[in-house]
Structure 1
Amino acid sequence: MSEQLLPGYIIRRGSLLERSLLLKFMQRTYQDLFPNDDFSHLEQTVKQYFSSDTPLWWVEEEGEQGEMRETRRISNAPCPIPNAQFPTPNSPIACLWVGNAIDQVHGNRHAHIFILYVVPEHRRRGIGTALMQYVENWAIQRGDRQIGLQVFQSNKPALNLYNQLGYQTQSIWMVKFLSAEK
C-alpha cells in the first residue's frame, strides 16, 4: 500500500524481498560520502539487521493516472501461472530504513534511523524533510519518545537538515584507528 508523501511522490512500505535493493541504496549512500572506499561489508549489515522489526520505506515518483506499469517476473520460484507477470513499482528515488535502539540514559526503546537517502537528482525538493516527518509520526504512533540517528560530521547537508528539524547532539561518537602492526 502506498500513500502520497509530497505532490509528485508516493511512499510505500518495503518488503523483506527487497534486501538487494536496500543494499544498493546503502552502498550508494556511502559511496557518495567516501567514493574511494569498498563497502562490500554492508551486505553483512543488511543480513544481520534487516527484518520485519526494522521497517523500510521507499519513495517513488507518482505516475500518471491510468499509466501502465512495467511488469516482471517476481522470482524464479515455481508459479501456478506459467510466465506470470506482476506489476512492479517505479524505481525508488529515496529510502528510509529504521531500527530500534535503547536510550542509554533512561532505558527506553526508540526508533533509530539506519539510513535516509535521496538520490541526487531529487534532492532539495523536500523529500528528506517529508521522510523525517513521516518517521516521526510513525514513531509517535508506536509510543516512542525520541528518535536517534548517526550522521557523519562531513555530511553538512544532512547535519543542516537534522538541525533545522530540531535534532540535537546528545553524544559524540569517537574512534581511534589502531595499527595491527607490532
Structure 2
Amino acid sequence: MSDWLIPGYRLRAGSRLDRALLLKFMHRTYQELYPNRNFNHLADTIEQYFSNQTPLWWVEVAGQESASQASAYFSPLRTLSPIACLWMGNAVDQVQGARIAHIFLVYVHRDHRRRGIGSALMAHAENWAKQRGDQQISLQVFSHNQPALNLYRKLGYQTQSLSMLKSLFDEEV
C-alpha cells in the first residue's frame, strides 16, 4: 500500500525483507558525508536495530509504474526504485526516562532534494510518533552536515546534547 507523500512522490511502508535496500541507503548517506571511508559495520547496525518495532518507509517517484508493475500485485518483487527513505525506532530521554521516537535514518537522493521530500518525511515521522503517544522525537546529525542541520532547525529541532569524540591513536598508526 502506498500513499501520496507530496505531488509526484508516493510513500510506501517497507518490510523486514528490505534489509539489503536499507543497507544500500545507509551506505549512500555515509559515503556522501565521508567519501573515502569503508562502512562495512552498517550491516551490523541493521542486524542489531532493524525489527518490526523499527518501521521503515520508502519514497518512490509516482508515475514510474510500468507494464511490469501490474505483476507486482501478484509478486513480492517491486519494480520501482525508491529515491528516499525514513527509518524510525525508539530511544529513551535520558533526562526524563521516557520512551521517545528516534529517527535512525532520513535520506533523499541528491537528484530529488530541495523539493519538500525531507520535510514531508519529517512530518510523517512526527505523526507516527504522536500516534504512538510519544512526547518527543530525537535524531542525530553530523555537525558538518549543514543542509540537514538547516532543515531540522527550520522544523523546530533544538540541540539537547552534543556528542564529542577524541581519537586515541594517531592516524599513522
Tell me which residue corresponds to 1:91: 81
Tell me which residue corresponds to 2:13: 13
Tell me which residue corresponds to 1:35: 35
Is the 1:11–1:60 Cα contact (8 Å) retained in structure 2? yes
Q: Which moved more, 1:172-181 or 1:17-26?
A: 172-181
The alignment's TM-score, normalised by the length of structure 2, stands at 0.92
Is the 1:69–1:88 Cα contact (8 Å) retained in structure 2? no
Mapped to 1, the partners of 2:71 and 2:169 lie a distance apart of 49
Mapped to 2, the partners of 1:132 and 1:171 lie a distance apart of 20
Bigger proportion of residues as helix: 2
Mapped to 2, the partners of 1:92 and 1:34 lie a distance apart of 22
Mapped to 1, the partners of 2:71 and 2:49 lie a distance apart of 28
Deviation at 1:71, TM superposition (A): 7.5
SS at match of 2:107: strand
Tell me which residue corresponds to 2:3: 3
Equivalenced residue count is 171
Tell me which residue corresponds to 2:155: 165
In structure 2, relative to structure 1, the CA distance for the partners of 1:15 and 1:86 (3 Å cut) is: closer
SS at match of 1:58: strand
Deviation at 1:159, TM superposition (A): 0.1
Mapped to 2, the partners of 1:17 and 1:48 lie a distance apart of 15
The alignment's TM-score, normalised by the length of structure 1, stands at 0.88
SS at match of 1:162: helix
Mapped to 2, the partners of 1:71 and 1:42 lie a distance apart of 34
Structure showing greater radius of gyration is: 1
Deviation at 1:177, TM superposition (A): 1.1
Mapped to 2, the partners of 1:145 and 1:54 lie a distance apart of 17
The gaps in structure 1 that reach 5 residues or longer are 74-83
In structure 2, relative to structure 1, the CA distance for the partners of 1:154 and 1:110 (3 Å cut) is: same
Mapped to 2, the partners of 1:52 and 1:124 lie a distance apart of 31
Mapped to 2, the partners of 1:169 and 1:113 lie a distance apart of 15
Q: Deviations over 1:1-39 (max 9, x none)?
A: 110000010101101001000000000000000000000
SS at match of 1:136: helix
Pairing partner for 1:112 from 102, 124, 135: 102
Identity of matched residues, %:
60
Mapped to 2, the partners of 1:86 and 1:134 lie a distance apart of 25
Is the 1:112–1:148 Cα contact (8 Å) retained in structure 2? yes
Deviation at 1:87, TM superposition (A): 5.5
SS at match of 2:100: strand
Is the 1:71–1:88 Cα contact (8 Å) retained in structure 2? no
Mapped to 2, the partners of 1:14 and 1:85 lie a distance apart of 15
SS at match of 1:54: coil
Deviation at 1:90, TM superposition (A): 1.0
